[in-house]
Amino acid sequence: MDVFPEKTRSKIMSSIKSKNTKIEISIRKSLWRAGIRGYRLHKRIIGNPDIVFNKKKLAIFVDGDFWHGWVLKQGRVLPVNYWTPKILRTIKRDKKYTKQLKKEGWNVIRVWEHEVLKNTDKIINKIKKYTT
């Protein structure tokens, strides 16, 4: 059971951004500083990657630690049973989209929110390998 009434939970959830998050903006600023251009944002391809390099067929997903399951992979137990199945479905969907994009000839980079906060340069260097 949730600790909030349904209307309160709905309001909280609707306020969470899914595009142009601080983490995404951080990566884009780092790409710009590194001189990496030519990407598109939220291109409508399978899985809706956050950053896409069409010519290089590179799709980049910036996965939130909570929403995409890093917290579960670390063995954390979520306080509300509602979240675990929901996050497990997200993990399954992420794998499906990654597999499908690769089958279509795309390179796929998935980065965790905590990785961006910890070492953006490492991520930018990884992206450079595909874009230069």
Confidence of residue 73 (pLDDT cuts 50, 70, 90): confident
Measured torsion, CA atoms of residues 64, 45, 29, 71, in degrees rounded to the nearest 10: 10
Stated pTM of the model: 0.82
**Could you tell me the two tokens for 111?**
């980065």
The whole-chain average pLDDT of the chain stands at 86
pLDDT cut 90: percent of the chain above it: 55
Structure tokens at 90: 């997200």
Q: For the chain, what are the domain ranges?
A: 6-131
CATH topology of domain 6-131: Endonuclease; Chain A (3.40.960)
> What are the φ and ψ backbone dihedral angles of 130, each rounded to 5 degrees?
-95, -20
Rounded mean pLDDT, 91-102: 96
The single residue listed with the structure tokens 């199945």 is 85
